């Protein structure tokens, strides 16, 4: 009986893709902040909120 190598089906990539537009990055940062991501500072949140407001 041969065993196949284990496959991790639930592996996720949590890093920010490098090819996102500035708007998409801003939305992603705000989403991370909203869901309690510890790496997002209040300064970043206000910066990205202003950025999104200017782009609309």
The gap between the terminal CA atoms of the chain, to the nearest Å, is 60
Domain ranges of the chain: 22-55
User: Among 32, 34, 30, which Cα is nearest to 46's?
Assistant: 30
- 23-31, long-range: CB within 8 Å, 24+ apart, which pairs? 23/51, 23/52, 23/55, 26/51, 26/52, 27/52
Report the predicted TM-score, pTM, of the whole model to 2 decimal places. 0.41
Residue range 7-19: mean pLDDT, rounded: 55
Residues 16-54: tens digit of each pLDDT: 566 778 888 888 878 877 777 677 778 887 888 888 888
- Let me know: does 44 contact 31? Beta carbons within 8 Å: no
| Residue 14 token pair | 């949590």
């Amino acid at each position: 009986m041969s065993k196949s190598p284990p496959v991790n089906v639930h592996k996720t990539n949590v890093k920010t893709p490098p090819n996102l537009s500035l708007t998409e990055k801003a939305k992603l940062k705000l989403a991370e902040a909203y869901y309690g991501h510890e790496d997002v500072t209040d300064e970043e949140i206000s910066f990205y909120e202003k950025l999104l407001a200017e782009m609309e």
